[in-house]
Amino acid sequence: MAKAPDDAESEFLTTQGDLAQAVSGKPEISVQIGLNRVSDDPLAQRDTIMIFKLLDGDLEAITRHMRGQVDLASLALKHHDAATHVDQRPADPKAANMFDTLEQVRLEALGIDQFPGMRHNLAERYDVAFRLSGYDRMSEKADLPLHDIVAMIAREAITGEKPPASIKRLVALSRGWVEGQAQKHFATLKASIHDQPTFARAVQEVLYDLELITHRPIAPVEDSESNDEEMLDATGHRDEENSGEEENSPQQSMRQSKEGDSEDAEGKEQAPSETEGDSDQTENPRDKAARNSPNRPDFLGLGGLPPYHAYTTAYDEIIEADALAPADDLNRLFEQLMLKVKQYNTVTSRLATKLQRLLLAQQTRQWIYELEDGMIDNARLARIVSRPDITTIYKIEKDTDFRDTVVTLLIDNSGSMRGRPITIAALSADILARTLERCGVKVEILGFTTRDWKGGFSRKAWMEAGRRPDPGRLNDLRHIIYKSADQRLNRARRNLGLMLKDGILKENIDGEAIQWAATRLRNRREQRKILMVISDGAPVDDSTLSANSGGYLDQHLRQVIAQVEKAGDIELLAIGIGHDVTRYYSRAVTLHDVEQLGDTMLQEITRLFAKEDIRLTRKAQRRRAA
């Protein structure tokens, strides 16, 4: 008798777990299919390898794709040192993406040299990832994915493997320029696949020649006296530009603040890239230093900081999402997002159904029966014949205590949300908005970031005016309206794809974003107002933090939250991705895996409405008892 699908899948995962243990040399490695996964994360180095499964297509290809994910993650457990990777990894997000992708090429080269059977599995993994990203339909005028293009050209030089069909056209468009700039380093890359530090420095040479980093890499400095003579940046590069500056890069400050480092820490952590979007709470060398650092103090209780203000608001903007990208780009990004929706196979659909039933049960109007005037109740028409003396056959509609509701989703659009967190946030916002819209609940989707790194026009104006101390907020805000509350989702849905656009996600100033969202809610006519904030940690703006007292943005966020919660007219809820936000919000949920985001959003909204339903039921019972 044939095995049930669930039994076959369980046996497949067990077999893959055994193979992963054999390849990695590590016991107790298991393999699981992530319910919300839209991509894998081979460099995460967890004891549980999380993969995703395509929902349709040829069974053999689907199986090969899952094997490819397991193979690459197993090779990373065997040959990848996370601490070395972080030490050498550039801060710039685009450079970091390419650095990560080329490290995966190194692991693939090691794998197919030792295990030739991995060749086709790993090729299938690349092809699926590129198809889901829409590379096979991408216009020549679009912002081409340079990190994957360079990786495929380098992969061909190192392993002899041709680029997958889904990216072959894009590789052909860029091959001449890439090889002209970087081909001289490919031999070094191939020769050093067994030596990760040497390979990493060769990758940095590639990045330098492609003008993705500004300083040519140098060998690590062993002599402490030489450090006094030359400043090195976080990637081990000679930092001539900032040797006299006090401020760190925005990516350094972001990681320091969001992982709880003290104010004067000079960590080497970099901003997460698209391949490491989700937050991993396992013991990983890349975040070990952050956990050993002292916890951030509660700045609200310290006092002594100057009142929060902006140096200038002249360059701030509140902008519709469709004004930030051409229509063709928005359509392409939205198609890319919708391809990932197909992989979003989770219990979210059941939660959405549960929420819809709950809301539909709470009708905004109710009927009062057995009246002597009003509309005829069809169910009582028979009484007219059988009992002509009965006159209470009418009904009328009457308003109930159930209040109409508007929900605002305020999504952190900072650089550290890049990759899986922002993708899952966009998908979850889409699912939640569709569910609530069916039930007559209006939903607004907003995002917050800054217009530039390191301050933009505001900082330039401050510097030109003489750099007075304590300038206040020192960056240009960008508040994005993806969907207004009165707009139908089908008219605004493509705007959600903007979250996947490179260059949109920068810094985050949470306090002013919450004030903005709360003001928009207060201007609404609905009686019940819910604000759900989705963020991955503390507010961070490198320019502001470098020019003001420590904890400046942190204190303001706490003050704004306290004001909103005290006012009571808005129900404030926060979901922290990978970081504890309960230190800011009285009602908050912390997710240790970004893939829980969709389920958690629906669960928390369901809990809020269920709580309201219980309150109204008890109120009605007290009224009847009276």
99 inside domain: yes
Query: Which H or E run includes 125?
Result: helix 118-132
Phi first, then psi: give them for residue 408, nearest 5 degrees. Answer: -110, 125
Q: Are residues 95 and 112 in the same domain?
A: yes
CB 207 within 8 A of CB 155: no
Q: Which of 399, 423, 454 is the last residue of a domain?
A: 399
Q: Are residues 452 and 385 in the same domain?
A: no
pLDDT attached to residue 610: 60
Q: Please name every residue paired with 327 in a beta bridge, in sequence order, or none if there are none.
A: none
Give the residue among 266, 329, 274 at the shortest CA–CA distance from 95: 274
Whole-angstrom distance, CA of residue 450 vs CA of residue 464: 21
- How many percent of the chain have pLDDT more than 70? 72
Q: Are residues 68 and 15 in the same domain?
A: yes
How many structural domains compose the chain? 3
Identify the residue with better confidence: 251 or 487. 487
pLDDT attached to residue 86: 85
pLDDT digits (tens, 9 = 90+) for 184-209: 999 999 999 999 999 999 999 999 99
Average pLDDT over residues 252-279: 38
Amino acid (one-letter) located at 593: D
Q: Which two tokens stand for residue 118?
A: 């991995």
Q: Are residues 511 and 531 in the same domain?
A: yes
Average pLDDT over residues 349-373: 62
Please state which of the ranges 258-267, 318-327, 349-358 shows the lowest mean pLDDT. 258-267
Q: Which of 82-91, 342-351, 554-563 has the highest mean pLDDT?
A: 554-563
End-to-end CA, the chain? 65
33 inside domain: yes
CB 356 within 8 A of CB 438: yes
pLDDT attached to residue 56: 74
Q: Which of 147, 180, 209 is the last residue of a domain?
A: 209
267 inside domain: no
Q: Would strands 394-399 and 365-371 be described as parallel, antiparallel, or unpaired?
A: antiparallel
pLDDT attached to residue 237: 40
Residues ≥6 apart with Cβ < 8 Å to 202: 185, 188, 189, 192
Q: Which of 167, 187, 209 is the last residue of a domain?
A: 209
Give the residue among 403, 428, 374 at the shortest CA–CA distance from 36: 428
298 inside domain: no
Q: Are residues 123 and 183 in the same domain?
A: yes
pLDDT of residue 139 exceeding 70, the answer is yes
pLDDT digits (tens, 9 = 90+) for 498-509: 988 878 889 989
Amino acid (one-letter) located at 182: A
The CATH number that applies at residue 472 is 3.40.50.410
What range defines the domain where residue 380 resides? Answer: 365-399
147 inside domain: yes
Q: Are residues 386 and 410 in the same domain?
A: no
CB 11 within 8 A of CB 3: yes
pLDDT of residue 142 exceeding 90, the answer is no
pLDDT attached to residue 247: 41
pLDDT attached to residue 318: 93
Q: Are residues 512 and 384 in the same domain?
A: no
260 inside domain: no
pLDDT digits (tens, 9 = 90+) for 541-550: 888 888 887 7
Please state which of the ranges 72-76, 134-138, 250-254, 442-446 shows the lowest mean pLDDT. 250-254
pLDDT of residue 134 exceeding 70, the answer is yes
pLDDT of residue 561 exceeding 60, the answer is yes
pLDDT of residue 241 exceeding 80, the answer is no
490 inside domain: yes
Average pLDDT over residues 557-572: 90
pLDDT digits (tens, 9 = 90+) for 307-333: 899 999 999 999 999 889 888 888 888
Amino acid (one-letter) located at 524: R
Helices 420-438 + 597-625 axis angle, to 10:
30
pLDDT attached to residue 28: 84
236 inside domain: no
pLDDT digits (tens, 9 = 90+) for 43-94: 888 888 988 888 777 888 899 999 999 999 999 999 999 888 988 888 777 8
Q: Are residues 24 and 139 in the same domain?
A: yes
How many residues are present in the chain?
626
Q: Which two tokens stand for residue 164?
A: 């997958």
Residue 134: HSE in the Cβ half-sphere, 13 Å Cα cutoff: 21
Q: Are residues 539 and 439 in the same domain?
A: yes
Amino acid (one-letter) located at 507: E
Predicted TM-score (pTM) of this structure:
0.52
Q: How high does pLDDT run on average in the chain?
A: 76
**Three-state secondary structure call for residue 258:** helix
pLDDT attached to residue 275: 36
Whole-angstrom distance, CA of residue 87 vs CA of residue 233: 10
Q: Are residues 519 and 573 in the same domain?
A: yes
pLDDT of residue 239 exceeding 60, the answer is no
Q: Are residues 498 and 387 in the same domain?
A: no
Q: Are residues 607 and 549 in the same domain?
A: yes
- CA 145 distance to own-chain centroid: 19
Whole-angstrom distance, CA of residue 432 vs CA of residue 9: 30
